[in-house]
Structure 1
């Protein structure tokens, strides 16, 4: 799919979705004289190019590489990329990350005082709306080719991507319009539970319409992705619908765990762990790809963006860090983490600085740069040295060679959105929450498989008696930090806004404080509300 990205063609029957401004969602074909909707769907080969646009809409930002002809207006194009905004909304709002930049709306995320005009909450809504619009158009137009077996798979994949977009919409925004056809009518607002039911039914219907486990080309989803997303959907059902579906979460996690996907154990670079190779420039070939159930593909030459892993690598480099060690031409001196995340690794700390702060860990998932960095954050803005830096993502391969972009600007590393380790943890949590069909000893064995990879030995292993809900939450932080999941986890545990758990600068206060519980959801964009009288703003905004 990396190679397909550079041949993307736009779908340009894009109706008004969620009452959005037409200018924000309209797409323009790369060459109006070359492409029309009719010839986009003239053959299965052409339809595959249109399918690529659906995947690329989550990875890229427009139609001219890293900038130019942006798909979404009103925000910096690189900033508007899906996974970069997912990081902003699900990591910067938590204990996992801070950023020193002062872009309008950005400081409000960690301070947890955003409003309905926030650029980031608004742009994410548009990005997901665009994905739904593209998918609706593709599904409708590809029906003319549905007799072709491959096109049948394409349609199922489009339905998965639409379900994934709605999964994020109900997570982030709650009650949103449910639109499944191309339309210019102002849509009605659906209850969160109704959209949940739609996502569930779509995934259940397409599970047997998608290709078998790992039989699709890399970068495209198969039926295991449907099972994995179902398990994650069911894990959050109590929060999203007030219905306990932990048994269903166990059921579909078990399906994933019985598939051909496997935890990456290829320690190609010989550093004692295979964990770091999940986030390197060759993670599409070094063995990590066998753990990736759904990933966004990036290539430093063929699919360039200032979001994605280009953002995660560059923005995390600053201070005394050498950019060349990360395979890039310089750091953006922005992203760091808080002491609250570092503390999650305290049990494995092996060395400390003169102030007693940890600087080395036996758990090699503790990928922090402490040299020249302050453990505690006194100032977030423009002070890169406050807070440990994070070294998780790199644009070098397992042998240390830099990525394909000779200029060192754009990154090759793919970004896992759902990987098998996540489903191990879903299984464990669902079992602990009372889901039947699972076993606490089996859950502990899955956790230990992750911890053995992290420690390079059995030194970090736990017993079933050690396995509690709080342990699983902390283990999710250790395993999945900066992968766009933390806010969702904290909301599920009732900790995101409450005073039961605070972190540095939560609520804009240095030592952290609770905020109003309505901030468990983001606001619908103010301009959407003003356009569509069918919509009701989320409480508190």
Structure 2
């Protein structure tokens, strides 16, 4: 089983409670009380404070699910219907969300800012603490990593936000400029990358590859093409990561929980666990083709769940997403059109109601919760990001085609041929399509469409659920209304 820590921080004179997840039940340990007169903080207390950063930084459970759902449901390939979740997802699907939506306030705004506040506090105490110099260097790098990536997440959703780098910052801060925020993200990750280990001691902690990977994704979305290539090459130079190619269907097997510790494709992820329902992954429970599902017609393993584990809400893939794939493409096999129900009947889904077995059913699921980690960066993204950057700089080249084909060949799709792309725009469109095939339901579709200038037009011209009046301002989400009410210096995003 994965070994990592999931911490809850209670800031009452900085009392630190640590919850450790491993192969035995959760254990709780109190590390101590930090007061201004205590002098240098103990190692145990600093460890608890750093872990308090990561419980807020890590998106798992409902928070991780909602990040993926917003990116996918507001885009063009996947949607949700019926059940309790639909009350929250319908404004996203219909493009009429506003500043009161519950996902924005706590998941998208509050959680990263709590991680930032905890990181600032850790950084203010660490230098005078009783940690060794080596422990300080690693702890500082980890805290700055979490803080920078939290700002990258905020910037991706809200645009420029207030930069808070000290617990002494004024309470009612104005929004920083976009340049200030992006410069901070870039300078922080570049500064600490070499101080992070190539392999983390605990699953879910940051590594050098994670710093390069998050930088690469940030540069991709801000269209700094040469820096995308530079960081992709830094990741490759580590010699640690590669596409998962084991078995007859490696793409399917990559997303099996039991393979998460043996594959070398994932560069950074937020860990999920079935030991605590608050940290479990509910996406698979929401993605079965129907609630009376029994098993696939092929009889493949690891697919039978009891009725109580299958949610009433349904995540669906549109037919035109499924049709993007060649029939022999392994990635297409994760869409479920036909299945056997509990009465032994063969059922065929109605059009555009494809079940999605991207996160292959976890045989050790706890009720509705699976142990599928929330993958943030994997090696396939390195290859396709580098291919996109090369095309943006040089137009179609064999180098770009070769990178794309590494991903396609793993999936048994027909390799691309350079001669089929007569222009930069033609290959650009193919790269967007290939990203849609490779990364469906991983929370990347929104940022990909925005980067390609197609997020709003995809909604306006959607084949089944178009909204002709979809507004350009929705490339950003609104600052939560509670934040607007609390901070007189906060300016709302245009249009909200």
Q: TM > 0.5 between the two? A: yes
Q: Which position in structure 2 is the counterpart of 1:96? A: 77
Q: Which position in structure 1 is the counterpart of 2:448? A: 489
Give 1:365 deviation, angstroms: 4.6
1:168-317 equivalences in 2 (<5 Å): 168-183=153-168, 185-211=171-197, 213-214=198-199, 216-238=201-223, 245-267=224-246, 270=247, 272-287=248-263, 290-301=264-275, 303-305=276-278, 310-317=281-288
Q: Which position in structure 1 is the counterpart of 2:116? A: 132
Q: Which position in structure 1 is the counterpart of 2:299? A: none
1:81-480 equivalences in 2 (<5 Å): 81=63, 83-100=64-81, 101-103=83-85, 104-123=87-106, 124-145=108-129, 147-183=132-168, 185-211=171-197, 213-214=198-199, 216-238=201-223, 245-267=224-246, 270=247, 272-287=248-263, 290-301=264-275, 303-305=276-278, 310-319=281-290, 320-322=292-294, 325=303, 330-333=309-312, 334-345=314-325, 348-349=326-327, 361-371=328-338, 372=347, 374=349, 376-377=351-352, 387-396=353-362, 402-403=363-364, 407-434=366-393, 440-455=397-412, 460-466=414-420, 468-480=427-439
Aligned-partner Cα distance in 1 for 2:377–2:477:
23
Aligned-partner Cα distance in 1 for 2:39–2:70:
35
Aligned-partner Cα distance in 2 for 1:27–1:501:
51
Give 1:186 deviation, angstroms: 1.6
Secondary structure, in 3 states, of the residue corresponding to 2:377? strand
Aligned-partner Cα distance in 1 for 2:438–2:29:
46
Secondary structure, in 3 states, of the residue corresponding to 1:295? strand
Aligned-partner Cα distance in 1 for 2:459–2:294:
38
Give 1:369 deviation, angstroms: 0.5
Cα deviation per residue 1:178-233 (whole Å; 9 max; x = unaligned)?
1011246221211222101110110111122212x336543222122111112211
Give 1:90 deviation, angstroms: 0.8
Aligned-partner Cα distance in 2 for 1:341–1:411:
25
Give 1:5 deviation, angstroms: 2.5
Worse-superposed segment, 316-325 or 469-478 = 316-325
Aligned-partner Cα distance in 2 for 1:325–1:47:
43
8 Å CA contact 1:51–1:158 kept in 2: the answer is: yes
Contiguous gaps of at least 5 residues in structure 2: 19-27, 296-301, 339-346, 422-426
Contiguous gaps of at least 5 residues in structure 1: 15-25, 62-77, 239-244, 350-360, 378-386, 397-401
Aligned-partner Cα distance in 1 for 2:10–2:488:
28
Aligned-partner Cα distance in 2 for 1:11–1:210:
27
Aligned-partner Cα distance in 1 for 2:162–2:174:
6
Call closer, same or farther: CA 1:375–1:462 in 2, change over 3 Å.
Answer: farther
Worse-superposed segment, 426-435 or 194-203 = 426-435
8 Å CA contact 2:116–2:150 kept in 1: the answer is: yes
Give 1:314 deviation, angstroms: 0.9
Q: Which position in structure 2 is the counterpart of 1:20? A: none
Q: Which position in structure 2 is the counterpart of 1:533? A: 488
Aligned-partner Cα distance in 2 for 1:322–1:446:
39
Give 1:88 deviation, angstroms: 2.4
Q: Which position in structure 2 is the counterpart of 1:353? A: none
Aligned-partner Cα distance in 2 for 1:41–1:477:
51
Aligned-partner Cα distance in 1 for 2:394–2:403:
16
The TM-score with structure 2 as length reference comes to: 0.83
Q: Which position in structure 2 is the counterpart of 1:65? A: none
Secondary structure, in 3 states, of the residue corresponding to 1:293? strand
Q: Which position in structure 2 is the counterpart of 1:358? A: none
Aligned-partner Cα distance in 2 for 1:363–1:32:
46
How many residue pairs match? The answer is 458
Cα deviation per residue 1:420-444 (whole Å; 9 max; x = unaligned)?
11111110111111179xx932322
Call closer, same or farther: CA 1:418–1:27 in 2, change over 3 Å.
Answer: farther
Worse-superposed segment, 36-45 or 142-151 = 36-45
Call closer, same or farther: CA 1:321–1:192 in 2, change over 3 Å.
Answer: farther
Give 1:98 deviation, angstroms: 1.2
Aligned-partner Cα distance in 1 for 2:234–2:428:
22
Call closer, same or farther: CA 1:446–1:321 in 2, change over 3 Å.
Answer: farther
Q: Which position in structure 1 is the counterpart of 2:474? A: 519
Give 1:257 deviation, angstroms: 2.3
Give 1:137 deviation, angstroms: 2.0
RMSD (Å), alpha carbons: 3.1
8 Å CA contact 1:214–1:260 kept in 2: the answer is: no
8 Å CA contact 2:8–2:52 kept in 1: the answer is: yes
Secondary structure, in 3 states, of the residue corresponding to 2:267? strand
Cα deviation per residue 1:46-84 (whole Å; 9 max; x = unaligned)?
4334333333334477xxxxxxxxxxxxxxxx64x2x11
8 Å CA contact 1:326–1:394 kept in 2: the answer is: no
Aligned-partner Cα distance in 2 for 1:252–1:294:
15
Aligned-partner Cα distance in 1 for 2:30–2:45:
16
Call closer, same or farther: CA 1:500–1:434 in 2, change over 3 Å.
Answer: farther
